[in-house]
Structure 1
Amino acid sequence: MSRQYDVHYSRRRTLALVVKNQQVSVKAPYGACRDFIADFVESKQAWINKQLHKQSDIEAARYNPWLHRRIMLFGQLRAIEVSESSLEQTDNQTINIVISKRVKHRQRYFNQQLLALMHDELCDHLSARIMQWQKVMNIAANGISVKVYKRRWGSCDSRGELCFNTLLAGAPHWVIDYVIVHELAHRVHMDHSHQFWALVNGYYEHTDQARLWLKENAHLLDFVR
């Protein structure tokens, strides 16, 4: 038996399946027969089930600071204390998040506060480290910003402006250094050519280890829905 699905019609010429957020939808041309669409979905059940299971595994692995009351900050798990008023700081390792009783969407507000803290922490760290790496590499950025990305840890645009993912604040300092060197190297090579990697590896010795750390720990850093 086929799963329920939505159909979205457009001027396209072929059928296409989309599985996102545990929902199945079909993109179809105007005038496509419902029976034809149903047969198409039925023929793709194995693929649909595979995608749904994959998304379930990803969701289960995603770290949730709201539930666990912990967050990764510069490579260390830090406890989070949630209160309705400001608390006297008794433990430098504990993060205090204040949420008023009047707040309706508490988890959303919690995430916003946590992202604001991570943004500030990362900005403070980057300001010193980027200045140092610019001197070492003799490469200057034309601007630096921090924001939340979905699929990248940093970027360098054609204007030479560097942008770093707020969630990178969860990574150890040595991994953040790799991302800094990576993006500064894009000021010279905007691609990922052999010359680019030669430049990165010429200044940073642990490229493979840093990339592996980010790959294996991404689920601990990315709590943004």
Structure 2
Amino acid sequence: MSIVNSIETVREWLGSTVCPMVQLKLPDDSATDASYPYKLVNPTAFSLFVPSKDRLPPKVPAPIPSVCVQIVEGTDSLTMSSRSIKIRLCFSAWDPGYHGRDIFKPKNDGSGAYVQWQNEEAAAFFEKNGEGWRDAWNFVDTALRMIENAEYIGPLRVMKEDGITFGPVSEQDAVPDFYPYWFAWVEFAVEEILTRTPKDYQHLL
């Protein structure tokens, strides 16, 4: 399998397995208050970079929320005929604070159930805060759970023996403030069989 195919395999797996399990706010930087037209969407999985708004694929509403598949490094073991690739997933979310529809209230019927707050009061409610980081990290938690439970991503074996690392996006060991955008990352390794046919021997095969 080529490096390109490996990247696309991970991206497609995220798009079909992880992203459908998550719903996050669709960004609207002109409405970071109660005027926000509340809308939740599934994140999009991208390869190598997150495109700008004018370069989005069809049917993708926004660059964020998303997860981007990147390669940190790769190693070909020629004696073992295997390739290992360290993958970095970059997660992004947008959330300026609590909107009314973010809040669930007791149903008050003795069932113990909660229902989404939806009325005129809820539509006018907004509390600006720095709690949006929870969206990014809930996204990360979902991805971690799926990766940790997977033995293979397509033909790629998840190298559980190498563990998984994760953290916030940082600059010079400090976590920058990109409010209302929130970012995090996950790194793990995959392995695949490396097939090489020496040119000098091809006529004998």
TM-score under structure 2 length normalisation: 0.27
Q: TM-score by structure 1 length?
A: 0.25
Larger Rg: 1
Give 1 or 2: higher strand fraction.
Answer: 2
More helix by share: 1
